[in-house]
């Protein structure tokens, strides 16, 4: 599926807190890395973040960059993994929401899976968008003006969303396509402005 180096030179921020659904970070990150992107784990946590497998403890992962030191301008795209506690903690963190909002405001591509769209709800990014998520998040998306649908993967404008770990293959495919398309659009803009 992945064309090697299709995202060469792209820098992708992966924003998470502890208690994230492990496979929703590791599998998309591998797909991005395999496509040539440089991925950076960013967290309010200083050293490590704890993954989970549903309710069971997973692995701990080293944080590449603490949120306080992260500049959204340095990144081309954003990945928001799910799990229940991870996005719930993030949406209570003002700096984390400012980080997400900067991607929204700049029109940069964002991929969010499972409960990950909570950060998009919190930053008022879902209004008028067709989206999916873990089913329990649908009311929040609808209340924030989004159009929730029960599909494995949905892309609307510059945001790709997905429901759950079982959907990761479709999510990865859609995310890679969105990120690649966004980079192509950016290169076209640069040539037009040259």
Closest by Cα among 52, 9, 15, 54 to 32:
9
Q: Is 114 a catalytic residue?
A: yes
Q: Is 137 within 8 Å of 163 (Cβ atoms)?
A: no
Q: Is 184 within 8 Å of 10 (Cβ atoms)?
A: no
Buried/exposed code over 139-158 (b: 16+ C-beta within 10 A; e: otherwise): ebbeebebebeeebbbbbeb
CA angle 172, 92, 101 (to 5 degrees): 55
Distance, in Å, from the CA atom of 29 to the CA atom of 79, rounded to the nearest integer, reads 9
Distance, in Å, from the CA atom of 160 to the CA atom of 143, rounded to the nearest integer, reads 19
Distance, in Å, from the CA atom of 10 to the CA atom of 54, rounded to the nearest integer, reads 30
Find the catalytic residue in 53, 54, 114, 191: 114
For residue 79, give the 3-state DSSP assignment: strand
Q: Other C-beta atoms within 10 Å of 106: how many?
A: 12
Tokens of 77: 């795209």
Would you please indicate which residues are annotated as catalytic (active-site) residues? 114-115
């Amino acid at each position: 599926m992945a064309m090697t180096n299709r995202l060469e030179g792209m820098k992708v921020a992966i924003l998470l807190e502890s208690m994230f659904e492990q496979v929703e970070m590791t599998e998309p990150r591998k797909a991005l890395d395999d496509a040539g992107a440089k991925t950076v784990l960013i967290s309010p946590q200083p050293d490590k973040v704890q993954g989970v497998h549903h309710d069971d403890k997973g692995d701990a992962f080293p944080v590449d960059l603490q949120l306080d030191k992260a500049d959204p301008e340095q990144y081309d795209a954003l990945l928001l993994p799910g799990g229940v506690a991870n996005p719930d903690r993030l949406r209570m963190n003002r700096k984390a929401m400012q980080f997400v909002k900067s991607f929204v405001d700049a029109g940069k591509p964002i991929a969010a899976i499972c409960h990950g769209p909570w950060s998009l709800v919190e930053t008022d990014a879902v209004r008028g968008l067709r989206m999916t998520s873990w089913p329990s998040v649908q009311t929040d998306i609808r209340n924030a003006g989004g159009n929730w649908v029960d599909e494995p993967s949905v892309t609307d404008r510059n945001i790709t969303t997905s429901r759950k770990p079982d959907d990761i293959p479709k999510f990865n495919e859609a995310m890679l396509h969105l990120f690649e398309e966004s980079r192509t659009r950016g290169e076209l803009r640069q040539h037009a402005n040259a």
